[in-house]
Amino acid sequence: MNLDEPSSPLLEVQHLSYYVQKTAILTDIALTVQPRQITAIVGADGAGKTTLLKILSGLIRDISGKIWFAGEEIGALPAWEVVKRGLVYVPEGMRVFPQMSVLENLEVGAYCHREGMAERLARVLQIFPELQDHLSQPAGLLSGGQQRMVTLGRGLMPGPRLLLLDEPFMGLSPKLITRFCNSFRDLAQDGVTLLISGQHIRRVLKIAERAYILEEGRITRAGVGVDLLQDSHLQEILFIS
């Protein structure tokens, strides 16, 4: 892989399969994520989206196939080594530490990358200025939307090159979803690559420059996000028509 070429992907997956007791959970997955872009993975519940993100982040191993990140094969690395290389996973339903302050919650995210933490904190507060006045407040007292800002901010504190977001819109109002979509676009423009999985299919695909449909552990469609919205097969399996 030649990283000097502009088209070189930041993340590349080839022939990835994962089995649990001889049952196929993911089969022959192949995908690429280009730098500074938003890529989406969509599919029905149980399609394997969360499992795929956990594998990419190092939380699940004993897999077959290859995973490259920034030109390095990472398929056998533990999760903490993956984070050190700049790939950070924000799981579905990730919660704040309610008794800790907002600032302490954010600082936890930088445990692997303490150097430059002040600059990264300033960037998080620029993206989510609502948190500025609550830094000393227990995070558990924040609204649901503000707590989601804290968990996403915590994912940004290590200074990721690639941020994996699993169901980032879960439980949010339409207004907040729009706000988060705008923030994701800003992050991509600033150089943070995003891979998003979610059930808000229209919202996710409208901001995705590249998207994949995952069905029963297999990728069945790939293309530009807004183009996939018009795909009759996607409309049929996810009832979004």
Query: What is each CA distance from 112 to 76, 82, 152, 203, in whole angstroms?
Result: 19, 11, 16, 32
pLDDT given at position 102: 97
* Least confidently predicted of 87-96, 109-118, 138-147: 109-118
Residue 4, pLDDT > 50, answer no
Contact of 1 with 171, CB cutoff 8 Å: no
Contact of 54 with 90, CB cutoff 8 Å: no
Burial bucket for residue 119 (CB in 10 Å: 0-12, 13-18, 19+): exposed
pLDDT digit string, tens, across residues 191-216: 999 999 987 888 899 999 999 999 99
Residue 241, pLDDT > 50, answer no
pLDDT given at position 239: 60
pLDDT given at position 122: 94
pLDDT digit string, tens, across residues 112-142: 666 778 999 999 999 999 999 999 999 999 9
Contact of 70 with 81, CB cutoff 8 Å: no
Residue 2, pLDDT > 60, answer no
Burial bucket for residue 101 (CB in 10 Å: 0-12, 13-18, 19+): middle
> Please, which residues have CB within 8 angstroms of residue 71's CB and are 6 or more apart in sequence?
1, 3, 8
Can you give the pTM of this predicted structure? 0.91
pLDDT given at position 171: 85
Residue 47, pLDDT > 70, answer yes
Per this entry, what is the length of the chain?
A: 241
Domain with CATH 3.40.50.300 in the chain: 1-86+161-241
Percent of the chain with pLDDT over 70: 94
**Phi and psi angles of residue 40, each rounded to the nearest 5 degrees, phi first:** -120, 150
Give the right CATH number for 1-86+161-241 from 3.40.630.30, 3.40.50.300, 3.30.1160.10, 3.40.50.720.
3.40.50.300
pLDDT given at position 181: 93
Q: Can you read off the two tokens belonging to residue 145?
A: 């939307």
